[in-house]
Amino acid sequence: MRRTRAVESWTLIPLETFVEETGARLTLLMTPAGQVLAQYGFTRAVDVMAAAALGAAIFSSTTEIAKMLREREFAAVNHQGVRHGIFLGSFSTRRGRLLALVVYGPDSSVGLVQLFFEDLVAKLMAASPEKVEQRPVLAADFERELTQSLASLFGR
């Protein structure tokens, strides 16, 4: 069964390659606002939404810390646990700034994730289409778009 799902199809192949090369357990591609573009490994929508919200919050917090240190931003953050590590990296594409949240286990490493993250960024940059004009989100459209996105992310 295919475990990589994408709302935006141009992210699919780079993400599949990244997951295969790093052995990542879970991966999310999302905007800094927490809107998910693609996911690997999640089985429940609630987990994707929680992880995206928390990932976006971590990015937002570290951006503020970077400002306090007069850094432009932190390109990546790694949280190392006993059994799992969490890597959060930000990068630019033609579609704007994106984040990758990667959870890896003892069969991978932060070095591998960092190494193939560089490749992922290059491939996403090459594959990304031009930025589309953002239209205002209407309440009437919101639920339908959310349902469509979740259906794409979980193949339902």
Partner 1 sequence: MSERFVRALERITRIGGVQGAMLVAADDGLIIADASMEGVRGNAVAALAASLAKRFTRVSKAATVGAPRFLHLQAEQGTLIVVAALGGVLVVTMGGADMNVGLARLEMLRVAEVVA
Establish if 115 lies at the interface with partner 1 (CB under 8 A): yes
| Cα–Cα dist 34/13, whole Å | 21
Among 110, 125, 127, 150, binds partner 1 (CB under 8 A): 110
Among 114, 125, 127, 149, binds partner 1 (CB under 8 A): 114
Helix (H) or strand (E) holding 101: strand 96-104
| Cα–Cα dist 15/26, whole Å | 11
Give residues 17-56 in contact with partner 1 (rule: CB under 8 A).
none
CB of 66 to partner 1, least distance (A): 21
How buried is residue 153: exposed, middle or buried, by Cβ count under 10 Å (0-12/13-18/19+)?
buried
- Give the nearer residue to partner 1 in terms of CB position, either 42 or 104: 104
Give residues 64-83 in contact with partner 1 (rule: CB under 8 A).
80
Residues of this chain that interact with partner 1 (CB under 8 A) are: 80, 106-112, 114-115
